[in-house]
Each structure stands twice: as C-alpha cells, then as structure tokens.
A and B are shown apart, each in its own frame.
Chain A
Amino acid sequence: MHRYTFQRLLSRSVVHSAAIVICFFWTLPTAGILISSFREARAIRTSGWWTALAHPFNLTQWSLKNYGDVIMADGLGNAFINSVMVTIPATVIPITIAAFAAYAFAWMRFPGRDLWFALLIGLMVVPLQMALIPLLRLYTTLDLNGTFLGIWLAHAGFGLPLATFLLYGYIAQLPRDLIESAAIDGASHFRTFTSLVLPLSLPAIASFGIFQFLWVWNDLLVSLVFLGTSPDVTVVTSRLAALVGSKGQDWHLLTAGAFVSMVIPLIVFFALQRYFVRGLLAGSVKG
C-alpha cells in the first residue's frame, strides 16, 4: 500500500467512520421517500418516516396502496407509458442518424466534409433554450405540438451534435483495412455500415444510448414545451411536477410517485453502470 490515501493521513477508524457517515447521509433523503411510499397517508401526516423503523416488522403499517392510487387515480401509470413511448424512439432516432452521419464523415469523400462536420459538432455549445421559441412556433404551424413525433424529433435534434461527436470518435478509428476490404468484396456502403461498422461500434453506441435514454427520461423542460401536460401525452416527470403543484401536501402520493419516476433510471444505473459512467463523462461537454 504505497499509494497516497487518507488512510495514512488520518487513522483508519476515522476514515471508515467518515466514509460511513457520508454514505449514510447521502442515502437518507432517498430512504425517507422509499419508506414513506409504503406507509399509510395518515401515518405519514402525523409522524416522521423514521418512527416506522422503530417497529419494522409490524407489517400492518406497510401497504402498496399509495402506488395503486398514484398510478391509477393520478395518472402516473399512463404517464409512465407515455415516457416509454417518448424515450425509446427519442434514443434510437438520434443514434441512427448520428451513426450514418459519423460513417459518412469518417469513410466517405465529399466536398466540404470537414467544414460540415465542424459545424455539426460546434452546435454542441448551443443551449436548447435557444431553440425553444422558434420551434414552438414552427410546431404550431405544422401541428406538431403535443405529438410524439414532434418530441422524438426535438430530442433527436438536440442530441445529434453530441451523438455524432461521440460516434465519430469511435467509427473513424476502426481499421482502414477492414472498411476497404469490405468495399473490395463488393459490399455497398449501406451494407458495410449495417453489418460491419454498427456491430463494431456497439460500445460507443451503448455509452451514448444510456446517456440519451436517461437524459430524455429525466427531462422536464423539453416535454413541458413540446408535449404539454394533457394526460394522454404527458410524461412521468411533468406529471410528477404537476402533482407537486396540485397535491403538495399529499406525501403518500408524492413519495410513491417519485419512486415510480425513478424506477427505470435506477434499473439502468445498476445494470449498466460501466456504460453509464462513460456516457455521463462524454455527455458532460454538452452546452
């Protein structure tokens, strides 16, 4: 153990207790809503959630009723499905468009290639707030407000510069021989792309895919602007935000609702943590 660690600076027991205390306090807020979400509405209103832990095996105090209520009566179930309907295409579409473009920029010759590429990548600096008002007007004219197609394309457009940047970095580094031998074998660009380049770029696609998936799933602003809050299209984040506004004191609903909105990100986080970290690092350069 030659490395520099606090374990040398401070005594081991101090390091361990500090680490455990930090982890404890970091997790406490989440634990609070998780535990509350299983308690009865009246119990939540009249006593702190930690009091339930005094007698955790008193099973009568736990129930799934809050989840049933918030999913059915408050429309969070519908919003959850809407979120899936928004998120999957809004992840796949920009990946596909970006992958085709990245291939063209890396392996095809055409006039102005570098210039177009620089323009596309440079757009990463534009905060999406710059695009909201003109697009809202355009969508009103085209009747795309409140449509799934509209929000798919919006998320795709906003995500494209980053997606192209990341995928280009990967696709351009594939061995030249590989691409050329495919061409000599008579494979068209389309075929080379789909059966050679795409499978080989899977790590980059996974990193960006997870980043974009969580970005879209967790997004509030874009969905508020382009999808709105009508129950048949609204997504889980905007529904939850609306619940905070209308039922701000109904903690039995809000705690269960927060958990419903978090369940998919948590699964993605635990199942794909390695790709998640890479995607997050790569995404940190976005404007």
Chain B
Amino acid sequence: MEINQKQSRMKTADSAGEQPSRQHSRRPLASAALAPGLRFLGWLLIAAAVILAFRAGLALIQDKTTPRILAMLIATGLGVAGVWLFYWTLDRLVALLPVARLRRRLLPLVFAGPALAMVFIYLVYPAALTIYLSFHDARSEHFVGLENYRFVFTEPAMRTAFANNIFWIIMVTSASVALGLIIAVLFDRVRYESVAKSLIFLPTAISFVGASVIWKFVYAYQPKGRPQIGLLNALVVQAGGEPVGWLIERGINNLALMVVMIWLQTGFCMVVLSAALKAIPDEIIDAARIDGASELQIFFSIVIPTLRGAIMTVATAVVIAVLKVFDIVYVMTNGQYSTEVIANRMYAEMFRYRDYGRASALAVILLLAVVPVIIANVRNIRRQRS
C-alpha cells in the first residue's frame, strides 16, 4: 500500500507538471505550498481506485459463472477489507487537511458518522416511512386514514393471528420459564451438570428453520394402517390410538408449533436462571434450615422470590422473541389451518398480497407491542444492577 501511495502521488505530480500553466510549480516554495494539495489529490485517486476495485469485486461475486469457492473468498475479502479500507481512507483524508482545528472537528465524524448514517438509513428513515405507509393504501398512493388498522383488527383471519400471538405469548413464555427454572434447579450440582445443561441449551444455537424440520419429522403423519415414521404418531399408535395430523388438526396444531419454540427457548431460560440460582448465598438457605423451614418452603419463599428479577428478565426476552415469531409458522404450516401469527401475516401481506399499507400497519402494531416489553426489561435489568 505504501508503495502504491508513493507511485500515485508521483503520477499526480507528473501530470500536474506537464500542464504549461503549472510550470512555475517546480520552484521549491510553490511546490511546498502545493504538496499537501497534491497529496490530498493522490489520496482521492487511491480512494477512487479502491472504489472501482470494490465494484469490480462485487460484480464478480454476483456473477453466476465465477467458481463458488473463489466467489466465497472474494466476498469475505471484500466485506472485511472493504469496511476497514473505508475507515482508513477517511482517516487519511482528514489527516491531510491543513488546519488542525478542522481535523479535530472532522475526526469524530469519521468515527461515529458512518454508524449514525447506517442506522438512519436502515432504521430511522424506514421506520418513519412505515408509519406513514400504514395510513395509505396497498400501493401507497392514497391516504386512507385508519382503514388499514380497522381492517387488521376486524378481519377474521387477522383476528386469528392476533389471538394466536397472545396464545403463543402466554403458553410459550410460561412453559419456557417454568421448564427452564425446574431444569436449572434439578441439574444444579449433579455431577454431570455441564453436559446435561449443554444438551438442553443446544437448540438455542440452531436455526428456527432447522428446528422446524426436526419437529416436522416428529409430527410426521401417515394414514391409519401404514407404518408411522413420526415419533409422536408411532407412540400414539403403539398405545392403541389413531394417528393424529398434529399440524393440521385445529386446536392441536398451534400447540404443536409452540412446542418447537419452547424447545428452542427453554435452554436460554435455564442458563440465565441457573446463573442466578448459583448466586444465592448459602448462608440464607442455611439460616432458613436452622429456623426449621422445610425444603419446599425454602423453594417457594426464598429461591423463587430471590430469582424474581432473573425470571422477569428471561420472561420479557421470550415475550419479545415470541411476538416476532415467523420462521416456525412459515416453514411448518405457513399460517394454514388457523395457525397464522402477526409476523407471518405481515410477510404474506408484503409478498403474496402486495398490500404495503396493511403490512405496514402490522409492523407498527408489532413495534407498539414490543416497546413496552423492552422498557420493562431495561427497567428490570437496571433495578437488578442497583
């Protein structure tokens, strides 16, 4: 890079020198005055070259004919080097400015500016526009007032989605937190604690899509008389029952989907609650025992109250995750058979029905639902710290 800089600087100097009007610039005094300007120009040229190379690289990874492994290497290089070169070039450009005060003023802009610009483009502007679009029609041409919200709250399929989301929040949150707590206490201090906890925690690492495939296989259904390849139906048939279409049968299918989410979230709850459990001082427990409290009393009147903060933290985190649940429903039923939820319906409005107004209204509702939960969460975490 160092050599490149020098070369391009020399090139700039040469080309400037060739112009007749700049002949006098060869005189030492004038050239000293010109040097920073030329250096600046040189840096601009390098920046331009970098941008061109970057564009060529992007075109190459987008090109179907590029060998995939090569494309992978280039993409990694571009993404990683690109962002660093970006900051480095900006820093160099600012360093070349002649006035120290200007440099001091611009440098924070170089460091913090890109982050602020990014969140403005990717969050502030879109969120504001989404609110605006939610008051407009499907193609965002006419103002329709609260029509989208009226539709979203009254149309039967939408009401199913809302009802399901509430059902999800209640069931998944209580089940994950309760299971997480029971498992945390149960596994505490058994010899194989870390292995056992890893097994429960493992699902948190895999994708919702992967988990959906795993559970779809558990729920697999074959008509009566055929060998059942799904674990659950095999058990049912073994017990003398009829095979059940777990994902089709109304009343059961929503629960079947929730089980997937519970399976994914319990590990998270367990880890947080287990850490909190280990932080309870032994003295408190011992004192209670000396006072003659039974083990069950200790659990409900000491352990649970002490863990209240941690329980609230995991519960709010699960509520937020559940509010936005999309992948599980999208993959397993795509909202059919009364299993719709808000986030999946929003996606459907966006791509299947092309109704940006209704999709935006759903997004706004999601935001309004999430914000109070997060505020409660932050407050709770603060209270725990103090």
Contacts and interface: CB of A to CB of B under 8 A. Distances in A.
Interface residues of B, number: 123
B190 A3 contact: no
Tell me the interface secondary structure of chain A in the complex: helix
A50 B217 CA distance: 13
Contacts of B332: 244
A22 B76 contact: no
Contact of A101 (B111, B320, B343): B111
A161 B127 CA distance: 15
A161 B123 contact: yes
Given A98-B115, A120-B119, A6 B199 contact: no
Interface string B206-226: 111110111111101000000
A132 B363 contact: yes
Nearest to B111: A104
B186 A6 contact: yes
Contacts of A47: 227, 229
A189 B207 contact: no
B298 A22 contact: no
A131 B346 CA distance: 12
B71 interface: yes
B111 A7 contact: no
A214 B283 CA distance: 40
A29 interface: yes
A189 B118 contact: no
A66 interface: no
A256 B165 CA distance: 31
A76 interface: no
Contact of A97 (B118, B201, B210): B118
B350 A132 contact: yes
Interface residues of A, number: 121
Contacts of B323: 127
B79 A3 contact: no
B303 interface: yes
Contacts of A36: 217
B366 A29 contact: no
B116 A127 contact: no
A75 to B, nearest CB: 11
B99 interface: no
Contacts of A277: 201, 271
Contact of A46 (B198, B204, B227, B360): B227
B246 interface: no
Interface string A102-121: 01110011100100100110
Interface stretch (A56-64, A201-209, A279-287): A279-287
Interface in B102-158: 105, 107-112, 114-116, 118-119, 121-127, 129-130, 133
Contact of B62 (A135, A148, A188, A261): A148
A47 B228 CA distance: 7
8 contacts: A30-B214, A46-B227, A129-B362, A130-B130, A147-B62, A148-B79, A157-B123, A255-B213
Q: Which 10 A-B pairs rank lowest in CB-CB distance, beginning with the nearest?
A: A89-B79, A157-B122, A101-B115, A218-B207, A104-B111, A104-B112, A134-B126, A131-B126, A110-B108, A284-B317
